[in-house]
């Protein structure tokens, strides 16, 4: 059944198909255009939800019931159970991947104190060049050299009681 361009043939699966494509596009755009690591992780979570929705949508059959025996007379058409099995696995794996990404992000933050992609790349490059003993290359964004990188803030010594100040309403950081 191809998609009918007239409006009165708007079926639920067409609406949900558009929604899943929209989620995938929003998630991919967030990943590709993102500059902050945490936003890219949120975009990845959104794209995963869109892909799972698209997979279950391919098994939907109009006018059928869920694939569970015993609740309807034998012989009623049921939706395809195979995409549901695949998506069950994919959802749980998705949360495992997100947890691992969060763990890596916490370590990166502990070491470099920034989560911006461009600044991270500059700091990593300078660290690698220092470790290899070669002079630091100019960054890709400013190949003729630019302003020097601000130093990484020194970690607080063990036992220091100060916490991050509470943000008052209306003031900026």
Asked if 26 and 43 count as a contact pair (C-beta separation under 8 A), the reply is yes
Q: Which of 51, 62, 65, 80 is nearest to 1 (CA)?
A: 62
Q: How far is the CB of 108 from another protein (least distance, A)?
A: 9
Considering only CA atoms, which of 114, 107, 110, 106 is closest in space to residue 150? 114
The yes or no reply on residue 42 touching another protein (CB under 8 A) is: yes
Least distance to another protein, CB of residue 149, Å = 14
**Which residue, 133 or 169, is less far from another protein as judged by CB?**
169
First to last CA, the chain: 55
| Least CB distance to another protein at residue 130 (A) | 23
- Interface positions, 91-130, toward another protein (CB under 8 A): 91-100, 102-107, 109-110, 114-119
56 contacts another protein (rule: CB under 8 A): yes
């Amino acid at each position: 059944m191809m998609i009918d361009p007239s409006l009165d043939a708007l079926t639920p699966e067409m609406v949900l198909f558009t929604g899943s494509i929209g989620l995938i596009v929003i998630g991919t755009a967030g990943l590709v255009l993102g500059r902050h690591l945490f936003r890219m992780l949120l975009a990845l979570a959104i794209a995963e939800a869109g892909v799972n929705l698209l997979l279950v949508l391919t098994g939907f059959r109009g006018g059928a019931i869920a694939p569970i025996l015993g609740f309807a007379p034998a012989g009623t058409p049921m939706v395809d159970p195979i995409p549901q099995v695949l998506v069950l696995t994919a959802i749980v794996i998705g949360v495992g991947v997100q947890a691992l990404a969060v763990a890596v992000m916490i370590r990166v933050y502990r070491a470099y104190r920034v989560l911006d992609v461009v600044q991270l790349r500059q700091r990593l490059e300078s660290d690698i060049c220092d470790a290899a003993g070669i002079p630091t290359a100019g960054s890709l964004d400013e190949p003729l050299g630019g302003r020097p990188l601000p130093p990484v803030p020194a970690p607080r010594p063990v036992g220091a009681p100060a916490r991050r100040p509470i943000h008052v309403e209306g003031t900026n950081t």
